[in-house]
Amino acid sequence: MFNNRIVMILTVGVILLGITVCAVGQQAETLRETATSAGELALTYIDSVATYVGQGIVYLLNLITKDRVARDLEKPIGYLGIITGILLLFALLDAARKIIWIGIIVGWALLIVRIVLDALRV
């Protein structure tokens, strides 16, 4: 169980790094001028995602509270939103595994019933 979580964290890291590498390939000149290392690119990407997530959450909160949430909270809320999303993803993976097994068992059962009904039909 502990090893699966490490593998998932590493997988998320590799995906983020892969997206960053793709961005480097598409806009090589611009990115070379603004960021000199892959680490800076990864941190810039994460910071941009946190900013957009934070802007979305603050927008929704301001709809509810009639513009009482300060725009200064966009980045902190964004980072907490990203961390919460990652935690939910890991929690859903455990639950999803059980749901997938139930779906597979029901699917095989329905397939067997269909085969039996087709075999009995003349």
Query: Which of 36, 107, 21, 18 is closest to 115 using CA atoms?
Result: 107
The pLDDT tens digits along the chain (122 residues) read 556 677 667 677 767 666 665 554 555 555 555 556 777 878 888 999 989 998 998 898 889 888 888 888 888 888 898 888 888 887 788 777 888 888 889 988 888 888 788 778 75
What is the model's pTM? 0.51
Check: CB of residue 78 under 8 Å from CB of residue 57: yes
Among residues 104, 85, 108, which one has the least CA distance to residue 96? 104
